[in-house]
Structure 1
């Protein structure tokens, strides 16, 4: 179980991109949904995720791709 420090939602085409920062980690956890999600700031969540890389302006950044997220 992890505690969410920050949760940001923004539109990306037809999808809503969610970025979650977790206490004790400096890598963003990202997932997409068709609709907005409840605000998770301060909540404890259970997540299934795997490491991935995202390229921004030619630089590679480590991210965690969330497969499943559930509020605890």
Structure 2
């Protein structure tokens, strides 16, 4: 029987999965509209931020091991491209 993660990755070809990654930084900021909290996490050995939004603040993930399902995303700010990862699913390992 396939897990939820395996079903997602199979259904969406551009979806990526990282398992048992250590979180070295977790920042939570209120977005301009005030309804959402933007979570940014950095993983050990990876120089690209992983970003997701939730309605509330959560316990910090710093130091925790997580499983992430995400898409690669490129944003252009002031004419410069920045690579980020848009998280679809985050779960503690």
* TM-score, normalised by the number of residues in structure 1: 0.94
| Count of residues in correspondence between the two structures | 72
Could you list the runs of 4 or more consecutive aligned residues of structure 1 that deviate by over 4 angstroms after TM superposition? none
Question: What is aligned with 1:62?
Answer: 83
> What stretches of structure 2 of length at least 5 have no aligned partner?
1-19
| Equivalent position of 2:50 in the other structure | 29
CA RMSD across the alignment: 0.8
SS at match of 1:38: coil
Match of 1:40 among 61, 64, 69: 61
| Larger Rg, first or second structure (1 or 2) | 2
- The aligned counterpart of 2:24 is 5
> Which structure shows the bigger proportion of residues in helix conformation?
2
Please give the TM-score of this superposition, normalised by the length of structure 2: 0.74
